[in-house]
Protein backbone atom coordinates (compact mmCIF):
# COMPACT_ATOMS: atom_id res chain seq x y z
CA UNK A 1 0.00 0.00 0.00
CA UNK A 2 2.64 2.62 0.70
CA UNK A 3 3.94 2.29 -2.88
CA UNK A 4 0.48 2.95 -4.23
CA UNK A 5 0.11 6.04 -2.09
CA UNK A 6 3.47 7.35 -3.22
CA UNK A 7 2.48 6.88 -6.81
CA UNK A 8 -0.73 8.73 -6.27
CA UNK A 9 1.12 11.58 -4.60
CA UNK A 10 3.65 11.79 -7.39
CA UNK A 11 0.86 11.70 -9.92
CA UNK A 12 -0.91 14.58 -8.25
CA UNK A 13 2.32 16.55 -8.01
CA UNK A 14 3.25 16.00 -11.64
CA UNK A 15 0.03 17.49 -13.06
CA UNK A 16 0.54 20.57 -10.90
CA UNK A 17 4.04 21.04 -12.27
CA UNK A 18 2.96 20.35 -15.82
CA UNK A 19 0.09 22.84 -15.50
CA UNK A 20 2.55 25.53 -14.46
CA UNK A 21 4.78 24.67 -17.38
CA UNK A 22 1.81 24.66 -19.74
CA UNK A 23 0.69 28.11 -18.63
CA UNK A 24 4.18 29.49 -19.11
CA UNK A 25 4.41 27.93 -22.57
CA UNK A 26 0.95 29.14 -23.57
CA UNK A 27 1.77 32.67 -22.41
CA UNK A 28 4.94 32.63 -24.49
CA UNK A 29 3.13 31.16 -27.48
CA UNK A 30 0.55 33.94 -27.30
CA UNK A 31 3.35 36.50 -27.39
CA UNK A 32 5.13 34.74 -30.24
CA UNK A 33 1.98 34.03 -32.24
CA UNK A 34 0.38 37.46 -31.96
CA UNK A 35 0.39 37.84 -35.74
CA UNK A 36 -1.27 34.46 -36.23
CA UNK A 37 -4.79 35.67 -35.60
CA UNK A 38 -7.14 33.99 -38.03
CA UNK A 39 -9.47 36.14 -40.11
CA UNK A 40 -12.00 35.04 -42.70
CA UNK A 41 -11.31 35.56 -46.38
CA UNK A 42 -14.25 37.99 -46.54
CA UNK A 43 -13.10 40.08 -43.57
CA UNK A 44 -12.89 43.81 -44.18
CA UNK A 45 -11.57 46.21 -41.50
CA UNK A 46 -14.30 48.30 -39.93
CA UNK A 47 -14.17 51.86 -38.60
CA UNK A 48 -15.79 50.80 -35.29
CA UNK A 49 -12.86 48.45 -34.49
CA UNK A 50 -9.78 49.73 -32.71
CA UNK A 51 -7.50 51.31 -35.32
CA UNK A 52 -4.66 48.98 -36.36
CA UNK A 53 -5.72 46.18 -34.05
CA UNK A 54 -4.27 42.73 -34.70
CA UNK A 55 -7.07 41.88 -37.15
CA UNK A 56 -6.28 44.98 -39.21
CA UNK A 57 -2.57 44.15 -39.26
CA UNK A 58 -3.23 40.56 -40.33
CA UNK A 59 -5.64 41.75 -43.04
CA UNK A 60 -3.16 44.25 -44.51
CA UNK A 61 -0.23 41.83 -44.19
CA UNK A 62 -2.13 39.21 -46.20
CA UNK A 63 -3.26 41.81 -48.73
CA UNK A 64 0.29 43.11 -49.21
CA UNK A 65 1.79 39.62 -49.46
CA UNK A 66 -0.74 38.57 -52.11
CA UNK A 67 -0.16 41.79 -54.05
CA UNK A 68 3.60 41.21 -53.90
CA UNK A 69 3.25 37.62 -55.18
CA UNK A 70 1.08 38.84 -58.07
CA UNK A 71 3.62 41.52 -59.05
CA UNK A 72 6.56 39.12 -58.89
CA UNK A 73 4.66 36.58 -61.00
CA UNK A 74 3.70 39.24 -63.57
CA UNK A 75 7.29 40.54 -63.74
CA UNK A 76 8.73 37.06 -64.22
CA UNK A 77 6.16 36.33 -66.90
CA UNK A 78 6.86 39.61 -68.72
CA UNK A 79 10.61 39.07 -68.59
CA UNK A 80 10.29 35.51 -69.86
CA UNK A 81 7.90 36.46 -72.67
CA UNK A 82 9.99 39.53 -73.55
CA UNK A 83 13.13 37.49 -74.01
CA UNK A 84 11.27 35.05 -76.24
CA UNK A 85 9.84 37.76 -78.50
CA UNK A 86 12.76 39.36 -80.33
CA UNK A 87 12.04 41.33 -83.51
CA UNK A 88 15.24 43.38 -83.28
CA UNK A 89 16.85 40.98 -85.77
CA UNK A 90 14.22 41.87 -88.37
CA UNK A 91 15.45 43.40 -91.64
CA UNK A 92 12.77 46.10 -91.58
CA UNK A 93 13.98 49.16 -89.66
CA UNK A 94 10.40 50.14 -88.72
CA UNK A 95 9.84 46.73 -87.11
CA UNK A 96 13.09 47.10 -85.21
CA UNK A 97 12.10 50.56 -83.93
CA UNK A 98 8.66 49.34 -82.94
CA UNK A 99 10.14 46.36 -81.11
CA UNK A 100 12.63 48.61 -79.31
CA UNK A 101 9.84 51.00 -78.23
CA UNK A 102 7.66 48.13 -77.00
CA UNK A 103 10.53 46.66 -74.96
CA UNK A 104 11.37 50.08 -73.55
CA UNK A 105 7.77 50.62 -72.38
CA UNK A 106 7.64 47.11 -70.94
CA UNK A 107 10.92 47.58 -69.06
CA UNK A 108 9.69 50.88 -67.59
CA UNK A 109 6.55 49.09 -66.37
CA UNK A 110 8.67 46.32 -64.84
CA UNK A 111 10.90 48.89 -63.13
CA UNK A 112 7.82 50.62 -61.66
CA UNK A 113 6.58 47.27 -60.39
CA UNK A 114 9.99 46.52 -58.85
CA UNK A 115 9.82 49.85 -56.99
CA UNK A 116 6.29 48.94 -55.87
CA UNK A 117 7.52 45.56 -54.59
CA UNK A 118 10.14 47.47 -52.59
CA UNK A 119 7.38 49.70 -51.14
CA UNK A 120 5.35 46.61 -50.25
CA UNK A 121 8.37 45.14 -48.45
CA UNK A 122 8.77 48.39 -46.48
CA UNK A 123 5.07 48.31 -45.57
CA UNK A 124 5.40 44.72 -44.35
CA UNK A 125 8.33 45.81 -42.16
CA UNK A 126 6.19 48.66 -40.77
CA UNK A 127 3.50 46.09 -39.86
CA UNK A 128 6.10 44.11 -37.90
CA UNK A 129 7.33 47.33 -36.23
CA UNK A 130 3.76 48.39 -35.33
CA UNK A 131 4.17 51.66 -37.26
CA UNK A 132 1.97 50.62 -40.20
CA UNK A 133 -1.09 52.78 -40.70
CA UNK A 134 0.45 55.86 -39.12
CA UNK A 135 1.92 58.83 -41.00
CA UNK A 136 5.72 58.90 -41.09
CA UNK A 137 5.67 62.71 -40.73
CA UNK A 138 2.89 63.41 -38.26
CA UNK A 139 2.35 59.97 -36.63
CA UNK A 140 -1.40 60.47 -37.15
CA UNK A 141 -3.55 57.56 -38.36
CA UNK A 142 -3.58 57.37 -42.15
CA UNK A 143 -7.10 55.97 -42.18
CA UNK A 144 -8.64 52.68 -43.24
CA UNK A 145 -10.19 54.03 -46.45
CA UNK A 146 -6.85 55.35 -47.68
CA UNK A 147 -5.04 52.12 -46.74
CA UNK A 148 -7.69 50.03 -48.49
CA UNK A 149 -7.15 52.11 -51.65
CA UNK A 150 -3.35 52.29 -51.31
CA UNK A 151 -1.99 49.71 -48.83
CA UNK A 152 1.57 51.05 -49.18
CA UNK A 153 0.57 54.58 -48.15
CA UNK A 154 3.09 56.15 -45.77
CA UNK A 155 1.48 59.54 -45.23
CA UNK A 156 -1.89 61.05 -44.49
CA UNK A 157 -3.48 62.81 -47.44
CA UNK A 158 -2.41 66.26 -46.23
CA UNK A 159 1.18 65.13 -45.59
CA UNK A 160 1.26 63.42 -49.01
CA UNK A 161 0.09 66.64 -50.70
CA UNK A 162 2.83 68.54 -48.85
CA UNK A 163 5.46 66.05 -50.06
CA UNK A 164 4.21 66.24 -53.64
CA UNK A 165 4.25 70.04 -53.52
CA UNK A 166 7.86 69.98 -52.24
CA UNK A 167 8.86 67.55 -54.99
CA UNK A 168 7.26 69.80 -57.60
CA UNK A 169 9.07 72.87 -56.25
CA UNK A 170 12.42 71.06 -56.34
CA UNK A 171 11.70 69.69 -59.83
CA UNK A 172 11.04 73.22 -61.11
CA UNK A 173 14.41 74.47 -59.79
DSSP of 86-102: --TT-S-HHHHHHHHHH
What average pLDDT does this structure show over 11-32?
A: 37
Q: Which of 52-56, 68-72, 150-154, 168-172 has the lowest mean pLDDT?
A: 168-172
Provide, rounded to the nearest whole percent, the portion of the chain with pLDDT above 70.
Answer: 73
Which of helix, strand or coil describes residue 140? coil
Q: Give the CA dihedral 90, 93, 99, 100, nearest 10 degrees.
A: 120
Q: Is the pTM of this model over 0.75?
A: no
CATH topology for 49-132 is 1.20.120
DSSP conformation class of 150: -
Mean pLDDT value across residues 31-46? 73
Confidence of residue 11 (pLDDT cuts 50, 70, 90): very low
* pLDDT for the residue 80: 81
pLDDT of residue 86: 59
Rounded average pLDDT over 42-52 = 92
Collapse the DSSP code of 141 into the 3-class scheme (helix H, G, I; strand E, B; otherwise coil) and give the result.
strand
Start-end of CATH 1.20.120.910 domains in the chain: 49-132
Mean pLDDT of the region 67-79: 92
Which has the minimum average pLDDT: 53-57, 78-82, 155-159?
78-82
For residue 49, pLDDT over 80 is answered with yes
1-8: average pLDDT? 48
Amino acid sequence: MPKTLKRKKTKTIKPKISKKVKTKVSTKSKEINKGQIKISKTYIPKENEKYMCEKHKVFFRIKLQEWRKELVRANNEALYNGSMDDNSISADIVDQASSYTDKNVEMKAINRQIKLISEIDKALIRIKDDTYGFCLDTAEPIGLKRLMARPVAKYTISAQEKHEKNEKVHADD
